């Protein structure tokens, strides 16, 4: 089984040379991809500047105006839901007409807006990937953790997007194969709806630039048939949408036991809800077997879901323990547990303690 590879935002290094045969690339999505979706124009432009000219962007939809001529055919269908594309078997026709080798998929925003459960959206993703592989058994699939949204008409969309993005890496890991790898691309981190969109949903010029930059490195790897260097799988964390409380670097907020340290931070916050994370690190000289972090909320906050560990709450007391796969931390190693919580009047940072088992 091919290991899942997740791409975090990064600057490109040495750019590869162009290959002899064109690689056909389909950008699949909704209005964020196609209306006008000028991140595609910027991505094509950056590929050209890097000497990666062996590409053919394909789709049944024509390019839209982005200020310069570019290869812009696409499958960015405004208003479409991933679940509807799958249920109505729309993708096979698009695939037959275009025959792509690589699919860039930024899809799911309209499903989130429609309050469709992450598991249902990801079941649709599985159907779409199966259809891609039926068209091309060697299809290389790049799946985005979608950009954050903050539309005035959907106050819950920000939290729903976090929950959806958090579920994508595990789905991709279970669906990826050596012949047809799935690469998760973090489009969420660093994207701020207040400054990177014009309406809380659709990217403006700065948003388009961020999206294009995030696609670039994993797309070049897919074009060249290689896999980027693995980095830790993101858990839906990133730039807040919008913030009304403390965010930023993790703040060490508590003690240690045998070299165990824990840091707590609020990653993103919106009215009535927030995303937090606990980073547990081994500052000792021996590997751990297990770990437990504890803290107490001071303003009535509650945890509703978590990933990367086991989180329980009794009153104000919260206990965070390792999952089966991340209890053993070598000296200097760390692991992150993310969670979604709610708050009312305030959301102060609690003091966190940590012990090794």
Q: Which residues contact 132 (CB under 8 A, 6 or more apart)?
A: 91, 95, 103, 139, 141, 180
Look at the pTM and tell me if it is higher than 0.85: no
Which CATH number applies to 251-356?
A: 2.60.40.290
Q: What is the DSSP letter of 148?
A: P
CB atoms within 10 A of CB 244: 13
| Tokens encoding 251 | 């703040």
Q: Which CATH superfamily is domain 5-223 in?
A: SGNH hydrolase (3.40.50.1110)
**Alpha carbons 18 and 221: distance in angstroms, whole number:** 12
**Which residues face 317 on adjacent strands?**
296, 314
**Number of C-beta neighbours around residue 262 at 10 A:** 28
Residue found under tokens 């993790």: 250
Output the CA–CA distances (angstroms, integers) from residue 234 to 157, 238, 262, in the order listed: 20, 9, 18
**DSSP class of residue 20?**
S
Q: 72 near 38, Cβ under 8 Å?
A: no
List CB contacts of 141: < 8 A, sequence separation 6 or more.
Answer: 102, 103, 105, 129, 132, 180, 181, 182, 183
Q: CB 326: neighbour CB atoms within 10 A?
A: 18
Q: Which residues contact 293 (CB under 8 A, 6 or more apart)?
A: 260, 262, 278, 280, 319, 320, 321, 337, 352, 353, 354
**Cα gap 275→237, rounded to integer Å:** 8
Q: What is the pLDDT along the chain (357 residues), one digit of tens a residue?
A: 333 444 444 434 444 444 468 999 999 999 999 988 999 999 999 999 999 999 999 999 999 888 899 999 999 999 999 999 999 999 999 999 999 999 999 999 999 999 999 999 999 999 999 999 999 999 999 999 999 998 888 889 999 999 999 999 999 999 999 999 999 999 999 999 999 998 899 999 999 999 999 999 999 999 988 654 443 333 333 333 333 333 333 333 334 457 999 999 887 777 788 878 898 999 999 999 999 999 999 999 999 877 778 899 999 999 999 987 778 888 988 887 878 788 899 999 999 999 998
Directed axis angle between helix 38-49 and helix 205-223, to 10°? 50
Task: List the domain boundaries for the chain.
Answer: 5-223, 251-356
- What string of DSSP letters covers 307-347? ESSEEEEETTEEEEE--TTSS---TT-EEEEEEEEE-SS--
d(CA 144, CA 188): 8
């Amino acid at each position: 089984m091919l290991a899942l590879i997740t791409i975090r935002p990064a600057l490109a290094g040495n750019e590869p040379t162009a290959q002899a045969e064109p690689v056909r690339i389909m950008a699949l999505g909704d209005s964020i991809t196609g209306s006008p979706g000028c991140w595609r124009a910027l991505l094509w432009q950056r590929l050209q500047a890097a000497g990666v000219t062996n590409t053919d962007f394909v789709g049944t939809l024509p390019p839209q105006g982005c200020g310069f001529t570019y290869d812009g055919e696409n499958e960015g269908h405004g208003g479409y839901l991933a679940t509807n594309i799958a249920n109505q078997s729309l993708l096979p026709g698009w695939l037959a007409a275009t025959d792509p080798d690589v699919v860039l998929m930024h899809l799911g925003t309209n499903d989130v807006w429609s309050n469709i459960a992450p598991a249902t959206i990801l079941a649709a993703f599985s159907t779409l990937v199966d259809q891609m592989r039926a068209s091309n058994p060697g299809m290389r699939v790049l799946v985005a953790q979608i950009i954050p949204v903050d539309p005035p008409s959907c106050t819950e969309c920000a939290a729903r997007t976090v929950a959806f993005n958090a579920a994508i890496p595990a789905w991709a890991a279970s669906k990826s194969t050596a012949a047809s790898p799935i690469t998760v691309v973090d489009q969420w981190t660093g994207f701020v709806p207040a400054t990177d969109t014009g309406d809380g949903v659709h990217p403006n010029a700065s948003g388009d630039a961020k999206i294009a930059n995030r696609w670039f490195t994993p797309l070049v790897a897919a074009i060249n048939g290689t896999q980027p260097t693995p980095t830790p799988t993101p858990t839906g964390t990133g730039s807040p949408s919008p913030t009304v409380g403390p965010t930023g670097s993790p703040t060490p907020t508590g003690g240690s036991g045998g070299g165990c340290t824990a840091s707590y931070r609020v990653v993103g916050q919106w009215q009535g809800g927030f995303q937090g994370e606990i980073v547990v690190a081994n500052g000792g000289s021996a590997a751990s077997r297990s770990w437990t972090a504890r803290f107490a909320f001071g303003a009535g906050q509650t945890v509703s879901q978590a990933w990367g560990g086991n989180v329980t709450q009794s009153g104000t007391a919260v206990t965070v323990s390792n999952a089966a796969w991340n209890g053993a931390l070598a000296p200097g190693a760390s692991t992150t547990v993310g969670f979604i919580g709610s708050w009312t009047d305030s959301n102060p940072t609690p003091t966190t303690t940590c012990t090794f088992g």
